[in-house]
Amino acid sequence: MENLSTFIKLQQFWQQGDAVLHSVTLLLLLMSLFSWLIILDKTITLLQTRYILRKMLESFWAADSLEIALQKLLQRDKSHLFANLASDAIKAETAWEGHHVSGIAAKVDKSEFIARTLQQSVVFAQARCERGLTLLASVGSTAPFIGLFGTVWGIYHALIALSGATQIALDRVAGPVGEALIMTAAGLIVAIPAVLAYNAITRANRLILAQLDHFAHNLYAYLVGGITLHGHHLNQPTPPYANSAHHSETPNGL
């Protein structure tokens, strides 16, 4: 019965509102819908990535060849951040090996070429992680003011309706004003989840990107100098193919 009563009150609020209040309500609903779609999508992707990250990278470094390692990464990396980074780095290394003896590529330093490729890939990964966050930030900052505008507009019309009355009755004012205040609550209901989700997703993205940067550094060290770093955070095992590396360059850092 209580749910039915609430539905009837909301229906009355909708019927009493004009085009402006209807537009504000629909706008808040759309903002809330898009916000929750982004929140759910980002949350699922981040949880999947964090859950399999350690095993995924251990599997990559334990593979018998770069081709097999990349295939394993492509299969398990739901975010495609690490897979795209490894793919770009391997393609860059292959391209340099195939063209460094002739043409313009002969004057390009391998370490610099791979470093620039990794840097560009990390930048693209960061942009991918931040996709949708602008909308969450915009919703979180504007929804309360949109709701407040609906409240002011509703109160304004309630006062206009009472302007010709010779005697003001409290029940004639309380109803329209209370219904107008619903818009303020609606704005806050839309904004608060967006703000909290923005902060949480931003922090989670920083952690993922830190791991990605660490992976890029290790991948650079291997592709340029055939070096597999020990004692780093993920404790990745030495890949069997590291012993067969034939590179002679010394990495100079990203």
What pTM was computed for the model? 0.73
d(CA 207, CA 222): 23
In a domain, 246, yes or no: no
In a domain, 247, yes or no: no
Per-residue pLDDT tens digits for 27-66: 999 999 999 999 999 999 888 888 888 888 888 888 777 8
- Look up residue 171 and give its two tokens: 């029940």
- Look up residue 84 and give its two tokens: 């795209």
Other beta carbons within 10 angstroms of residue 88's beta carbon come to 20
In a domain, 112, yes or no: yes
User: Worst-scoring range by mean pLDDT, 7-11, 140-144, 157-161, 228-232?
Assistant: 228-232
At 93 the pLDDT is 81
- Look up residue 175 and give its two tokens: 């109803």
At 83 the pLDDT is 87
Largest separation between any pair of C-alpha atoms in the chain: 96
At 154 the pLDDT is 79
Higher pLDDT, 250 or 218: 218
- Look up residue 231 and give its two tokens: 């004692």
Per-residue pLDDT tens digits for 181-210: 888 899 999 999 999 999 999 999 999 999
At 239 the pLDDT is 38
Other beta carbons within 10 angstroms of residue 67's beta carbon come to 11
Higher pLDDT, 52 or 239: 52
Per-residue pLDDT tens digits for 139-182: 999 999 999 988 888 787 777 767 665 555 556 666 667 777 88
In terms of Cα–Cα distance, which of 57, 121, 7 is closest to 113? 121
Can you state the percent helix, strand and coil of the chain, rounding each to 5?
80, 0, 20
In a domain, 243, yes or no: no
In a domain, 195, yes or no: yes
In a domain, 45, yes or no: yes
Contact 41, 201 (CB under 8 A): no
Contact 39, 132 (CB under 8 A): no
Question: What's the N-to-C CA distance of the chain in angstroms?
Answer: 65
Contact 228, 222 (CB under 8 A): yes
In terms of Cα–Cα distance, which of 129, 7, 120 is closest to 79? 129
Query: ∠ at Cα 139 (135, 143), nearest 5°?
Result: 165
Q: Could you tell me the CA-to-CA distances from 132 to 23, 74, 77 in Å, in that order?
A: 24, 24, 20
Does the pLDDT at position 228 exceed 70?
Answer: no
In terms of Cα–Cα distance, which of 225, 222, 253 is closest to 238? 222
Per-residue pLDDT tens digits for 69-127: 888 888 888 788 888 898 888 888 887 776 655 555 556 677 888 888 899 999 999 99
What domain count does the chain have? Answer: 1
Other beta carbons within 10 angstroms of residue 138's beta carbon come to 14
In a domain, 209, yes or no: yes
d(CA 133, CA 158): 38
At 96 the pLDDT is 77
d(CA 185, CA 216): 46
In a domain, 140, yes or no: yes
Higher pLDDT, 166 or 250: 166
At 146 the pLDDT is 93
d(CA 38, CA 40): 6
Domain of residue 121 covers 2-98+107-238
